Amino acid sequence: MIAPREPSGTPWLLWQLADSAFPAGGYAHSGGLEAAVQQGEVAGAAGLHAYARAMLGQAGRASLPYVNAAHAEPERLPEWDRHCHVFLTNHVANRASRGQGRTLLAAFEKSFPNSGVQEVAKTFRAHKLHAHYAPMQGALLRVLEVPPRQAQELCLFLTLRGTLSAAVRLGVVGPFQAQQIQKDLAPELDAVLERCADLHAGCVAQTAPLADLWQATHDRLYSRLFQA
């Protein structure tokens, strides 16, 4: 007789949201990696490892606080959205954040048409929000009852996966090397989460200024695979 299995403790929804098949729009953006590669600042596995590590640190200090704030108080989404808009002074990063946030909202509206998601969409339209990605992500995960810790883990995981996926498409590394780097950076995911899990919107900071500068040059690249 087969014994009943214990619940895994991981909502199946989390796997769905982490799946590359979920149409959240992240694959249209490289997080500044394309510009850094074209300018010779990132090359090979070692360069990508360092860049991805910097992106995780940046996500912990510049994205996670907004995810936390909007998850804790989704009714204050307009405030967090305005705060994020002022913080993102890099016009390319600002545009990418707005584009990803609106795509994320559209994906949630069409995939999970419940009252909570519709309320976030109503707030977006009523207040004419910029719809920045991090606060939008926090608010939407809250209304779908994703626990705070798992919302934070998803934010950091998607940052790392997006960077490595972009690197593969840019030819910086192959898919197997990217998987090796992702595994090697697992302790960094834990470290960033440990440092930044309790940060709020008032604690945002820019920790990767060079990557920010490289991303700001994206529109001037001769040829572009990504939007940002």
pLDDT tens-digit profile of 177-195?
999 999 999 999 999 999 9
Average pLDDT over residues 54-73: 97
* Gap between the Cα atoms of 19 and 205, Å rounded: 29
Query: Which ranges of 88-147 does DSSP label H, i.e. alpha helix?
Result: 91-111, 115-126, 133-143
| 23: in domain | no
Give pLDDT tens digits for 129-164. Answer: 999 999 999 999 999 999 999 999 999 999 999 999
pLDDT score of 25:
75
| 14: in domain | no
pLDDT exceeds cutoff 50 at 6? no
Range of the domain at 90: 31-220
What is the share, in percent, of the chain residues with pLDDT greater than 90?
Answer: 89
| 54: in domain | yes
Tokens of 44: 């090979």
Provide the greatest CA pair distance for the chain: 65
Query: How are the residues of the chain apportioned to helix, strand and coil, as percentages rounded to the nearest 5?
Result: 70, 0, 30
For residue 137, CA distances in Å to 50, 63, 142, 153, 187 come to 26, 10, 9, 12, 24
Based on the structure, what is the number of domains in the chain?
1
pLDDT score of 4:
46
| 20: in domain | no
Local confidence band at 176 (pLDDT 50, 70, 90 cut-offs): very high
Between CA 30 and CA 50, with CA 34 as vertex, the angle to 5 degrees is: 80
**CATH of residue 137:** 1.10.4190
| 76: in domain | yes
pLDDT exceeds cutoff 70 at 67? yes
| 7: in domain | no
Average pLDDT over residues 102-122: 94
